Amino acid sequence: MKSLSYKVKLTSVAEKFSLEYVNKPDNIDEIYVTRTDLSRPGLPLAGFFKHFENERMQLIGNMENGYLEELSNEERRSVIENLLQHRIVALVVTSGLSVFPELLELARIYNTPVFRTLMTTSAFTAALSSYLNVELAERITTHGVMVEVYGEGILILGDSGIGKSETAIELVKRGHRFIADDAVVIKKVSAITLVGSAPDVIKHYIELRGIGIVDVKRIFGMGSVKDTEKIDLVIKFENWVSGKDYERIGLDTESEEILGISVPAITIPVKPGRNLAVIIEIAAMNHRQKKMGYDTAMEFMKKLAESDDGEESCDVLSWH
């Protein structure tokens, strides 16, 4: 697994949210956003800069605008200059508010990017925070395959050549969706959520030994692919080892730790004749049932415990 750096171009943010450029510095293409949290600079405008973080994008909404309106031209120029002197990454005026002439003048002097949006401050904050949480999320790239099966995001891990890609194609043929092959970018978008996707250069492509690179979207259609999906379950393929004691009932729960988050996991032994696509479908449905509060293994053991015929219970547990 390999760590990646996290930053997003300021111009990409502007394009994503159709922001109006109020002041566009010459070096705009060299400016990056590196923080997910935003700031409404009420206290800084009042002169309090302790703990101020200039890496955050700053938002001017109705409250900040109302405060600035109450000031004289000289006072307004002074408080705005105090803010821009801290070399903030960018400033966004929300709700389509008018931009004070002093702000425009000082933004040009201090080479500060200034934008405007028609969105309200609350709506813009929520949308931008969500976007940045994904774009700037802590991430790793791992060797594997990612699919969506019955709404469950499945990360398939295993040695090269064990059949991960072939299983993914079979799942696509059965109506499920393909996300990534070979390299899966995993982002930690919250304290409990991981999202998987493919690197842009190989998005929608899959490698099948003996055939080569296949464009899944072109062959199976737009509905066969998905750009990102939450990782709900990790399935690990391993070559069948004769005599190894594999899980038979499902009481023992495995997990895979990724970026500090524990994800439910299953180990599936692979040998000729096993229909791995069907097994993964069953695993996805079973996992979905567990999330909805029904655990088949627990219910099965409960029935065994309630059975009056202990000998019959032992015979059941001795299934091949």
Q: Which residues are catalytic?
A: 143, 164, 182, 248
Helix (H) or strand (E) holding 270: strand 261-270
**Residue holding tokens 């062959």?**
219
Strands 91-93 and 58-60, by their bridges, are parallel
Angle at 114 between CA 112 and CA 118, to 5 degrees: 170
Distance CA 57, CA 84 (A): 12
Question: In angstroms, how far is the first alpha carbon of the chain from the final one?
Answer: 38
Residues 6+ apart with CB under 8 A from 81: 106, 110
**CA–CA distances in Å: residue 193 to residues 107, 134, 230, 252:** 38, 11, 7, 23
Q: Which 3 state secondary structure label does DSSP give 218?
A: helix
**CA–CA distances in Å: residue 53 to residues 69, 83, 136:** 25, 11, 17
Q: Among candidates 205, 200, 64, 177, which has minimal Cα distance to 125?
A: 64
DSSP 204: T
- On the CB side of 75, CA atoms within 13 Å amount to 9
Distance CA 168, CA 171 (A): 5
Torsion angle (degrees, nearest 10) of CA 304, 306, 311, 313 = -10
**Residue holding tokens 């702000």?**
103
Burial 82-107 (b: 16+ CB within 10 A, else e): bbbeeebbbbbbbbebebbebbeebb
